Amino acid sequence: MSRNTELFERAQRVIPGGVNSPVRAFRAVGGTPRFIQRAEGAYLVDADGKRYIDYIGSWGPMILGHGHPEVVEAVQRAVTEGFSYGAPTEREIELAEEILKLVPSAEQVRLVSSGTEAAMTAIRLARGATGRSKLIKFEGCYHGHADALLVKAGSGLATFGHPTSAGVPAEVVQHTLVLPYNDVAALEAAFAAHGAEIACVMVEPIAGNMNFVRASLPFVQAMRQLCTQHGALLVFDEVMSGFRVALGSAQSIYAKALPGFAPDLSVFGKVIGGGMPLAAFAGPKDVMGKLAPLGPVYQAGTLSGNPVATACGLATLKLIQRPGFFEALGATTRSLVDGLLGAARAAGVPMVGDCEGGMFGFFFPKPEQDFSAHPGGLPQNYTEVMATDGPRFNAFFHGMLDRGVYLAPALYEAGFVSAAHTAGDIAATVAAAAAALRG
C-alpha cells in the first residue's frame, strides 16, 4: 500500500472525507489524494517521495514559488518576535500601505484572516453603507462559504437564488440574486426590477472557480454604469486575481481598457499573505469609515493582522514589485498555455485555453460546443464550462499526475504558475501533456 493511500484511509477516520477542504478529496477526478510532505520552488513532494511540478501553488498564493529564501527569512525573523499579540503592530500598517500603493481605487484597507471573511464583511459593509439588503452575484463565481453566498441560480434571469448547502435556511439567501456571468441583459433586468434595493454587485473579474473565465469589457462596463446609476457598490473579489494577474490586480487591466474605471470595494487574499492565512478588503475612506470602531458595521478578528502572516505577505508583495517580474511571469505562463494547446493540436484533441500574469486555464470542448464566436474562442460562463468534456479532463489530469505534473483536481479550477517555474519545467510539462493526450 502506498503511503498516500495509507494516510487517506487514516484521515477519513478522523476528518470528514479525509480532507479539510472538499476539492482536495479528488472526488471530481477520482483516485487517491496526494499527501504533500514538503515543497520547494516549483515542486511538491508527496508522502511516497514522488516529485511533481506544481501548478496549484496552494491555489494561488505561491507566486514566488515555495520557500523563497527572502520570504522564509522574513517569516523566521517574525516568529522569533512572537506568534500573535492581539494588539496593533507597525507591520500591519506597512502591509496596508503597500496594498494601497498598488491599488489606486482604495484609500483604506482592513486586514482579516481568510478570503471568506473578507468577502463576507465587504458585503456587510456594502449593506451598511447603502442601507439596502439585496446583492447580486454570478453563477460560477465563488466568494467563500458565507451563508448568503452559497446559492445557485433560480429559474429566471432575475430570480432569487436558493441554498446549495444544507444548513443554509432559504430566508438567509432570499436577498441574493444569482445571474449568469458575462450576461449584460440579465444584469440590466435585475437592476430594472430591484435597482433601488441592491446594495452591491460582487464579481470575480477573472473567475478562477469555473476554471479561467474573464469578465468581458461590455459586462464590466455595464456593472460599473448600473451600480453608479442605482447607487449600489461594485465589489471586485480579487482573492485569486489580486496581485496574481498583474501588479495592480485585475482591476488595473480593466482600468487600462476602460479609462477611469474602478470598483468601489476590493477583496484580496492569497498573494497578499504569501501562503499564510491573510486576506483584506479595501475601499474609499467614506465607505471604510462605516466600520467599527468608527461606524456601525461590526467586524473583528483575534488573528487579524497576525504578525507572522503580515511578515510573509509584506515580503512577498515587495518581491513581486521588482522590475520585470510580471513580464517574465506572464511570458512563462503564456509559454505553458501555448505548449499545452500545441500538444493538443498535435494529438487531434480539441482544447482551448487562456492566461493572464501567473494564472491560467484550459478546457476540452465537446464536439457540439463551438466557442469560435466568443471572445478569444473561450467559454464565457459557468454553464458553458460545465458542459465541456469532464471525462476527458479527468483522464488528462491522471495522465499528468502519473507523469509528475500536479494540476488542479477538477475541471472548474484555474491553475497557477510561479516565478520559480523554469523553461525546463514548462518543457517537461508540455512533453507530459503530449504523452497524456496521445494516451
Q: What is the DSSP string of 79-143?
A: HHH-S--SS--HHHHHHHHHHHHH-TT-SEEEEES-HHHHHHHHHHHHHHHHT--EEEEETT---
How are beta strands 108-112 and 176-179 bridged, if at all? unpaired
Domain 83-319: assigned CATH number: 3.40.640.10
CA angle 83, 298, 84 (to 5 degrees): 5
In sequence order, the 6+-apart residues with CB closer than 8 A to the CB of 320 are 63, 64, 243, 247, 271, 326
What tens-digit pLDDT sequence spans the chain (439 residues)?
899 999 999 999 999 999 999 999 999 999 999 999 999 999 999 999 999 999 999 999 999 999 999 999 999 999 999 999 999 999 999 999 999 999 999 999 999 999 999 999 999 999 999 999 999 999 999 999 998 888 875 433 334 556 788 888 888 888 999 999 999 999 999 999 999 999 999 999 999 999 999 999 999 999 999 999 999 999 999 999 999 999 999 999 999 999 999 999 999 999 999 999 999 999 999 999 999 999 999 999 999 999 999 999 999 999 999 999 999 999 999 999 999 999 999 999 999 999 999 999 999 999 999 999 999 999 999 999 999 999 999 999 999 999 999 999 999 999 999 999 999 999 999 999 999 999 8
Known catalytic residue: 237?
yes
Whose cell is 440574486? That residue is: 177
CA angle 30, 33, 36 (to 5 degrees): 160
- Residue among 54, 237, 354, 389 flagged as catalytic: 237
What span, in angstroms and rounded, lies between the C-alpha atoms of 240 and 271?
A: 8
By three-state DSSP, how is residue 302 classified? coil
Listing DSSP states for 375-410 in one string gives GGG---SHHHHHTS-HHHHHHHHHHHHHTTEE--SS
How are beta strands 265-268 and 198-203 bridged, if at all? unpaired
Known catalytic residue: 142?
yes
* Cis upstream peptide for 277 (omega within 30°): no
What span, in angstroms and rounded, lies between the C-alpha atoms of 305 and 324?
A: 29
Q: What are the start and end residues of each CATH 3.40.640.10 domain in the chain? A: 83-319
How are beta strands 405-406 and 51-54 bridged, if at all? parallel
- Residue among 43, 46, 181, 270 flagged as catalytic: 270
CB atoms closer than 10 angstroms to residue 116: 19
H-run or E-run covering 279: strand 279-283
Identity of residue 68: H
- The answer to whether the CB of 92 falls within 8 A of the CB of 305 is yes
Helix 423-438, helix 325-347: angle, nearest 10: 20
- The answer to whether the CB of 416 falls within 8 A of the CB of 62 is yes
pLDDT score recorded for residue 192: 98
What span, in angstroms and rounded, lies between the C-alpha atoms of 162 and 108?
A: 34
- Residue among 43, 55, 142, 412 flagged as catalytic: 142
What span, in angstroms and rounded, lies between the C-alpha atoms of 228 and 306?
A: 35
